[in-house]
Amino acid sequence: MLVKWMRCTVVDRRGFERAQRKWAGLLGEPGFRGQGGGWSRSREGVAHVFGFWETRALYDSFMARSHDRLAAAQTGTYRDPRIRLFERTHDVKVGFTPRFGDADVLRVAHLRVRPDRVENFTLMQEKVWNPAMAGSPGMLRGIFAQAPGDEFLVLSMWDSAAEHGKYRIERIERLGLRAQTASDVAAMAGDVINAEQGWSV
């Protein structure tokens, strides 16, 4: 599964949100699996949108045919778009589906891993981080994905900000030590996002 992550700074919030609902036109596109997103909890005006496609070829076909027509309504409502594409490596919790309707909060982590540590990082994600996150109350589902080379995305969905907050406070430091994350990761950025149900497709 292809994962598309778009982050941008919104300059016309009402216009952006109105146009965001027009992405319902994605329904019926060959290979489209789902889309959703919301507003950063820490950065004013920053929006995140995540789209899911069966294959890169079907996504590329959509981009060539229908994308510009759907995107036209949002022109001028945002600036500094950053788009990244990733391929799913595995699920966090079994049976990931790109549904956003039951999620209150999304957490995205974007990591660059030292090239000689990619294998260990992937193994630790599978053996340490995924079971811990999957066993956390309030964690609904998640996905671990990789861009070519040493760039990774971890997206998790939570039923409340409170449950996500407990996980962060109680477990992150201990798990990071166990997984040797500091030795693997060259750079890490992330955000916590208030899910907007009206953006779900």
CATH number at residue 107: 3.30.70.100
What percent of the chain lies above the pLDDT cut of 90?
Answer: 71
Residue 188: name the closest of 110, 101, 84, 80 by CA: 110
Whether 168 has a pLDDT exceeding 70, the answer reads no
Exposed e or buried b per residue across 109-134, where buried means at least 16 C-beta atoms within 10 angstroms of its C-beta: bbbebeeebbeebbebbeebbbebbe
DSSP for 96-164, written as a single string? -----TT-SEEEEEEEEE-GGGHHHHHHHIIIIIHHHHHTSTTEEEEEEEEETTTEEEEEEEES-HHHH
Q: Strand, coil or helix: what is 196?
A: coil
pTM of the model: 0.91
Domain total of the chain: 1
Which segment of 108-112, 119-123, 126-130, 143-147 scores lowest on mean pLDDT?
126-130
In DSSP terms, which residues pair with 7 in a beta bridge? Answer: 48, 82
Question: How far is Cα 83 from Cα 90, in angstroms, rounded to an integer?
Answer: 21
Question: How far is Cα 151 from Cα 165, in angstroms, rounded to an integer?
Answer: 25
Q: What is the mean pLDDT of residues 3-12?
A: 98
Residue 19: name the closest of 11, 173, 104 by CA: 11
103-114: pLDDT as tens digits: 999 999 999 999
Of the pLDDT bands very low, low, confident and very high (cuts 50, 70, 90), residue 181 is: confident
Query: Where is 44: in which H helix or E strand?
Result: none
The parent domain of residue 165 ranges over 2-199
Of the pLDDT bands very low, low, confident and very high (cuts 50, 70, 90), residue 173 is: low
Residues 6+ apart with CB under 8 A from 20: 49, 74, 196, 198, 199
128-137: pLDDT as tens digits: 877 777 778 8
> What is the model's pLDDT at position 124?
83
Q: What is the mean pLDDT of residues 121-130?
A: 82
